[in-house]
């Protein structure tokens, strides 16, 4: 991707040659800017966030910017776009932190997660469904529905996490002290060379993985414990 953006202080910079050179874009704000993201599938739609409730939105690759409405007095710390009109933002005030979500290009925001723990990084896969947010004290949150709902994941490490990257079903989180955490939701590979002990009309066993529900009543492969659980079936017989 040759077209990229970066922000610093109140300045938005853009490159169209992979970073060989950068041009300054008129942002019409002097507020500190913290993060920028391009909407997947629409390189002309760009989101920029910063302090004092600053959200800048462009639908023409940064030629002009629209300042959207303020989000309840919170400062925007990071932004992740999952479509041309839907995005998630990490927000912070002196008394609360959380995640806001918009489905109308930033005009209105709804709170989808609230916490006293500061959050510092958020990312979603290319499909916009699976996402993670990370923060202080090893905080890891997971969403499987495009950021509508979030659940805390068990993390045995208490080091603060600063960033996260999700590609397909694999995610990496990085943080203090050089810590790197990996989460992989790829389904297990079915074993091969299965042989039936009793001959029938079909001598090739059928092996199939499926998502399992855990003892706490979670539905699907993710249990909230940081472990993805599966069950398997051989010719219709189910085993956990």
Q: CA–CA distance from 56 to each of 53, 111, 139 (Å)?
A: 10, 19, 28
Residues near 230 by beta carbon (within 8 Å), at least 6 away in sequence: 187, 188, 209, 210, 211, 212, 221
Taking Cα atoms as reference points, which of 75, 74, 37 lies closest to residue 57?
37
User: How far is residue 193's CA from residue 155's CA, in Å, rounded to a whole number?
Assistant: 37
DSSP 101-164: EESSTTSS-EEEEEESS-EEEEEE-TTSS-EEEEEGGG-EEEESSTTSS-EEPP-S--S-EEEE
136-186 per-position pLDDT tens digit: 999 999 999 999 999 998 777 889 999 999 998 889 999 999 999 988 877
5-52 per-position pLDDT tens digit: 999 888 999 999 989 999 999 988 888 899 999 999 889 999 999 988
Whole-number pLDDT of residue 216: 39
User: How far is residue 211's CA from residue 217's CA, in Å, rounded to a whole number?
Assistant: 13
Pairing state between β 131-135 and 119-124: antiparallel
pTM over 0.85: no
**Segment 214-219 mean pLDDT:** 39
User: How far is residue 104's CA from residue 192's CA, in Å, rounded to a whole number?
Assistant: 49
Whole-number pLDDT of residue 208: 60
Cα R_g (the chain), whole angstroms: 22
Residues near 168 by beta carbon (within 8 Å), at least 6 away in sequence: 125, 126, 186
Examine the pLDDT at 58 and tell me if it is beyond 90. yes
Instruction: Quickly state the pLDDT bin for 215 (edges 50, 70, 90).
Output: very low
Examine the pLDDT at 237 and tell me if it is beyond 90. no
């Amino acid at each position: 991707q040759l077209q990229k953006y970066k922000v610093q202080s109140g300045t938005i910079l853009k490159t169209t040659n992979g970073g060989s050179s950068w041009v300054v874009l008129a942002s019409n704000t002097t507020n500190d800017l913290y993060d920028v993201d391009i909407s997947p599938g629409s390189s002309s739609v760009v989101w920029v966030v910063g302090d004092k409730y600053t959200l800048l939105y462009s639908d023409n690759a940064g030629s002009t910017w629209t300042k959207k409405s303020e989000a309840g007095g919170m400062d925007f710390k990071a932004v992740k776009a999952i479509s041309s009109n839907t995005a998630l933002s990490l927000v912070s005030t002196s008394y609360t932190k959380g995640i806001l979500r918009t489905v109308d290009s930033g005009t209105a925001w709804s709170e989808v997660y609230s916490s006293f723990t500061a959050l510092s990084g958020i990312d979603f896969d290319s499909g916009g469904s699976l996402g993670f947010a990370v923060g202080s004290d090893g905080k890891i949150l997971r969403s499987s529905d495009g950021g509508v709902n979030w659940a805390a994941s068990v993390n045995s490490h208490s080091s603060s996490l600063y960033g996260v990257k999700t590609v397909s079903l694999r995610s990496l989180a990085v943080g203090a002290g050089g810590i790197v955490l990996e989460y992989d939701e790829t389904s297990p590979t079915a074993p091969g060379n299965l042989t039936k002990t009793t001959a029938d009309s079909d001598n090739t066993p059928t092996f199939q993985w499926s998502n399992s529900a855990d003892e706490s009543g979670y539905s699907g492969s993710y249990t909230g414990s940081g472990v993805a659980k599966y069950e398997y079936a051989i010719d219709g017989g189910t085993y956990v």
